[in-house]
Chains A and B, each alone.
Chain A
Amino acid sequence: MKIIIPVKRVLDPYTQARVNKQTQQVDLSNAKMAMNPFCEIAVEEALTLKESGSASETIAVSIGTDKTVDTLRTALAMGVDRAIFIKTDSELDLQPLHVAKILANIIKREEAELVIMGKQAVDNDNNQTGQMLSGLIDFSLGTFISKFDLNSDASSVEVSREIDSGIETRKLNLPAIVTVDLRLNEPRYASLPNIMKARSKPLETIELSSLGIDTAPRIKVVSVEESGTKDRASKQISSAEELFTELNQMGVI
């Protein structure tokens, strides 16, 4: 069983996003970038399956300019067998529909049976790509998973999904796509020897233009503005009585 793990390079999640007012875009020019944290969890799950003997090969895929190779090297250093880099000439505004179409192409080419990916990327917070991909290639779909068990004959998986009302368990026949939630596992760190080793692992580059996929934007970003948390004029209190009195006066209890 081949596993594809799409990974995305995003602004480091512990860095504050800043808007460039001239370009009306989030300024990433000198920003610290990292692999989307949900993608790290997806990589970890794929590696666990490989180590247990359930997967034949793990393949990380990412799309972007040359800098995206860093993120694929990170996946390789974590332990993924090989990487596919879909190269774009410039910073394209690729949307989940485009990304899903590109990934669909790669999955068909690789004849992969399982796709493990993050439930959302922490930059655009769309939470769409896995679902859209499943629709395009008609794979069964398990979103927001916190538990993943491959059945003994490797024809299906049982997944637990974190949903608004609790935990839902479903059986998905392969081929399937799962999108992972935070509590599925603890991703490993790449060790220094593995970072060195990753440099010699296979990384195939495919020009996006060679795939013949329409990437015309469906959504245009008209403007962006920072909307960070606003500091409030905090009043110090020091007793339960004081708190209840204040809340009463504010009319919230």
Chain B
Amino acid sequence: MSALILIELNGSEVSANSRAAITAATQLSDTIDALVLTNNASNGTSVSALAGINTVKIIVDDSLENANVEVASKLIADAMSGYGYLISGSSTFSKNILPRVGALLDVQPISDVCEIKSNNTFVRPLYAGNVMATVESSDETIVMTVRATAFEHSGDGGSASIETITSSMPESNSEFISLQESESERPELTTAERIVSGGRGLGSKENFTLIEQLADKLDAAIGASRAAVDAGFISNDYQVGQTGKVVAPKLYLAVGISGAIQHLAGMKDSQVIVVINNDPDAPMSRMADLVWQVDLFDALNELNAYQV
């Protein structure tokens, strides 16, 4: 059975999520095609350079720059004819669209696949990752999202053919108004090798700049606990955890984060975990490879002043 990858683009670049989806697809199928919904026909070229893709199917329309989910799900469902799998990387993009596609195809999608056991059996997290379930699908078409931290990110080097699908745009009852993007020169959170993450202990938005300074020193991305986001220290797209982003960097440095299970769910697979906190009983400390029990401001000032 052949597989169709729903490609997520960041501007003109293929997301790391989509690259993980390709790796997952290679474990399921010999024929892998990619589907791109875009307002810009030239985006087909970057997708065709992905290794492992047979054919790039591209639907181009001005309205697809910020596609409405009602439109996107219909287009994707229509493109599924002849495919056994629809796979995308786990993200707010795919989680918005794929379940709606599943409903249109009368299929029960599988979220956040972390391991592929066979052509219809997968491992996925429940209860914030505290339980891993092996699940077997009986649907004829399998729709799934895969965790980008659980699969290698497939590279370039391919030369897929590009096939344009001409499709009339379905009706939509919603419209895009605006996107307020967080702009940052720092590495992207979900693919960064190093992350410095701050929690409620920072106390204020102003103090959070100490986290930013340390991140810059380590060439790291910034993360945050839910408490820090709720308190307005930093915007939502930095939240790590069950309902935020799932990360697995080489280094996760947690400052002033007590470690609710919902946060641990998002970072427990990090290679090295460093905890800076003055509370020795914080759950976060038990997860740590290195613990510095200290007033976090003293630690941040010392780290930021340290000449590497």
Contact = CB atoms under 8 A, between A and B. Distances in A.
A234 B289 CA distance: 5
- Band of interface residues on A: 35 or more
A19 B299 CA distance: 40
Contacts of B100: 131-132, 134-135, 141
Contacts of A173: 173-174
B130 to A, nearest CB: 5
A223 B122 CA distance: 11
Nearest to A222: B134
A124 interface: yes
Given A125-B112, A231-B287, A253-B251, A132 B127 contact: no
B134 A96 contact: no
A44 to B, nearest CB: 15
B147 to A, nearest CB: 12
Contact of A170 (B131, B138, B176, B236): B176
Contacts of B306: 240-241, 244
- From B97, B107, B111, B229, residue with most partner A Cβ within 10 Å: B111
Interface string B130-170: 11111111110000000000000000000000000000000
A140 B69 CA distance: 8
Contacts of A172: 173-174
A95 B137 CA distance: 12
Interface string B51-71: 000000000000000101110
A100 B305 CA distance: 55
A171 B175 contact: yes
Interface in A114-141: 119-120, 122-129, 131-136, 138-141
A247 B272 contact: yes
A126 B111 contact: yes
B242 interface: yes
A120 B236 CA distance: 17
Interface of A: 11, 13-14, 16-17, 19, 26, 95-97, 100, 119-120, 122-129, 131-136, 138-144, 146, 158, 161-173, 176, 181-183, 217-241, 243-244, 246-247, 250, 252-253
17 contacts: A96-B108, A100-B103, A127-B111, A134-B103, A143-B96, A165-B182, A166-B180, A166-B181, A172-B173, A227-B130, A228-B130, A229-B264, A229-B283, A232-B288, A236-B293, A250-B272, A253-B194
